[in-house]
Amino acid sequence: MNSYKTILIVFRASEQAEQLCLLASGLADTWRSHVLGYHARPGVSVNVGLRGNELKQWLDEKRKLADDQEARTKAVFEHYASLSGQNWQWRSLDPDLANGGDTALDLARCSDLVLINRLQRGSTLMDPDMTLEQLMFETGRPVIIVPADYSGDKTGQRIVLAWNGTREASRAAFDAMPLVSSTSAGCVRLVCPPVPDGSSRQLPQGAGLAEAIARHGVEPEIKPLPGRHADAGAEILAECEEFDADLLVMGAYGHSRLREYVFGGTTETVLNDAGIPVLVSR
């Protein structure tokens, strides 16, 4: 893949719609992409304490809130569509009329790249961010996750690639290659584990990937992590801040989701604490 011709924006909060559209607009102009917009409406859980007309009124209010949220989001999307020289298309689905399947997943599986906002902290194992989890685990597509408080108007100008030699890291690095190969000189840093003391290895772990990237016309800086922090996630984020990166690229969830939750993990740390967009693949 050498470009992103179909970009899907999955919206969850109207207050973040402008940020996602702004980033999508910049990406779409670069690759002359078709942009799809979809509002992932929250599911309505039935209030078991209500009956009859009270239950109907409660459900009607919930649906109206969702309708209003989608209408505000669609208005922002259409505004950016009117300013763009590319083709933007809104896709919607009434969840009460859906006959199985998930439109967000269906659209994502047919897209080159997915943009989605990161919800505020507070999810638990029993109440996870299911839309994001499904996009990461079930689509096979690269997903750019944008923090709720991100204020940048571009992403992918200065990139940090997190590399540990795993399948997930490899998938992410090559899924991000259109972005990586279009950067300017000196704008890609490849961070990797340090060479262990006493190891026979002569080159950093990321040397092979750096050679592969160089064949795409970009020579990344290789930076073994110096071990200033107790966990790899904090270490990677420190490198992003030092490099003034506007995008982090990494593989997602090398361990099971339960193990990540109980023991912590690089993906969990990064998604909770990153102040810049993160492109993940799995």
- pLDDT tens-place values along the chain, 282 residues long: 789 999 999 998 889 999 999 999 999 999 999 999 999 876 655 555 666 777 778 777 878 888 898 999 999 999 999 999 999 999 987 655 554 456 889 999 999 999 999 876 554 433 457 788 888 888 999 999 999 889 899 999 999 999 988 899 999 999 999 999 999 999 999 998 876 655 555 567 888 999 999 999 999 999 988 766 667 888 899 999 999 999 999 987 655 554 454 334 777 788 888 999 999 998
SS3 content of the chain, % helix, strand, coil (to 5): 40, 15, 45
Parallel, antiparallel, or unpaired for β 278-281 and 188-192?
unpaired
What gap in Å lies between CA 52 and CA 266, rounded to an integer?
Answer: 48
Within-domain flag for 153? no
Q: Are residues 236 and 129 in the same domain?
A: no
Of 95, 123, 146, which residue is a domain's last? 146
Domain with residue 266: its CATH number is 3.40.50.620
The per-residue pLDDT for 34 is: 97
| Structure-token pair, residue 8 | 């899907």
Looking at the 3D structure of the chain, how many domains does it have?
2
Residues 140 and 177 grouped into a single domain: no
In this structure, is residue 212 part of a structural domain?
yes
Both 168 and 248 in one domain: the answer is: yes
**Cα–Cα distance, 195 to 95 (Å, whole number):** 51
C-beta of residue 221 within 8 angstroms of C-beta of residue 153: no
Domain membership flag for residue 199: yes
Q: Assess contact for 81 and 35: CB atoms under 8 A.
A: yes
Query: Residue 183 to residues 37, 80, 264, 280: CA-CA distances in angstroms?
Result: 26, 25, 33, 19
3-state SS assignment for residue 34: strand
Task: Answer whether residue 152 is part of any domain.
Answer: no
What is the distance between the alpha carbons of residues 49 and 196, in angstroms, rounded to a whole number?
Answer: 60
In a domain, 170, yes or no: yes
What is d(CA 169, CA 240) in angstroms, rounded to the nearest whole number? 17
Domain range for 18 is: 6-146
Short-list 185, 193, 123, CA closest to 165: 193
Per-residue confidence (pLDDT) for residue 126, from 0 to 100: 38
pLDDT given at position 247: 97
Residues 139 and 166 in one domain: no
Question: Are 47 and 140 within one domain?
Answer: yes
136 and 175 both lie in a single domain: no
Structural tokens at position 164? 């540990």
